[in-house]
Amino acid sequence: MDVIKGNQADGNQLDAKQIDELIRNNVVLTTTDKLLGWFRSRSIFTVTFGLACCAIEMLNTSSAKFDFARFGYEVFRGSPRQADLMIVAGTITKKMQPLIARLYEQMAEPKWVMCMGSCAISGGPFTDSYNVVPGADTFLPVDVYVPGCPPRPEALIYGFLTLREKIWHPNKITGNVARLRDIGKAY
Ligand code: SF4
> Which of 92, 149, 152, 156 to mutate to test ligand 1, by most ligand atoms within 8 A of the CB atom?
149
Q: Which atom of ligand 1 is nearest to the CA of 125?
A: 7
Distance 29 CA to ligand 1 centre (A): 46
Residue with the bigger pLDDT between 97 and 4: it is 97
| DSSP label at residue 68 | G
Topology classification of domain 44-165 = Rossmann fold (3.40.50)
For residues 115 and 61, give the distance between their C-alpha atoms in angstroms, rounded to a whole number: 15
Distance 128 CA to ligand 1 centre (A): 15
Instruction: Indicate if the pLDDT at residue 186 is higher than 60.
Output: no
pLDDT digits (tens, 9 = 90+) for 122-155: 999 999 999 999 999 999 999 999 999 999 999 9
Instruction: Indicate if the pLDDT at residue 49 is higher than 90.
Output: no
- Lining ligand 1 with CB less than 6 A are 52-54, 90-91, 117-119, 124-125, 149-150
* CA angle at 38 for the pair 101 and 154, rounded to the nearest 5°: 65
pLDDT of residue 2: 46
What DSSP assignment string belongs to 143-186?
Answer: -EEE-SSSPPHHHHHHHHHHHHHHHH-HHHHHHHHHHHHHHHHH
Which amino acid is present at 70?
R
pLDDT of residue 177: 59
* pLDDT band per the 50, 70, 90 thresholds, residue 17: confident
How much is the pTM? 0.79
pLDDT digits (tens, 9 = 90+) for 27-47: 877 788 888 888 888 889 999
For residues 137 and 121, give the distance between their C-alpha atoms in angstroms, rounded to a whole number: 7
Pair 41, 167: CB distance under 8 Å: yes
